[in-house]
Amino acid sequence: MKVVLDTNVLLQILGRFSPYHKIWESFLNEEIILCTSNEILLEYEEILKQKASSVIADLFLKTIEFSNNVIKKDPFYKLQLITNDSDDNKFVDCAFATQANFIVTNDAHFKELLNITFPKIPIISLDDFYKNFIT
């Protein structure tokens, strides 16, 4: 299963004692494929440095760089589907470019996608993704 992880979700799955840490373990065990782009990786790095440390951010980026189950693709098209927070469009564009199964997010701005019929970009909450796809 191919997924794009919104930054708010990434922060919740990395902590060793997080109830959602099993998602990160599923990625490490190559059970899910992480779809990303340079723009997304830059945001991950920035936020991880702010919320954790430079060491954590560097380790995370190295893990992504050397993992076989990462699709890194810089989108050619800028769909501009989210109008309330245009910064979130990088996740939408990546999901479209990589044909991801879901964007996993708890950000309410992504709910705009539910009203768009084409292109259909599926979103799922962290709780629903965990309950339905992580064993």
Q: pLDDT of 22-38, one tens digit each?
A: 999 999 999 999 999 99
Q: What is the pTM of this model?
A: 0.95
In terms of residue numbers, what domain contains 113?
2-133
**What does the pLDDT read at residue 135?**
77
Number of structural domains the chain divides into:
1
* β-strands 102-104, 70-72 pairing: unpaired
CATH number, domain with residue 9: 3.40.50.1010
76 CB contacts (<8 Å, ≥6 apart)? 97
101 CB contacts (<8 Å, ≥6 apart)? 1, 2, 3, 122
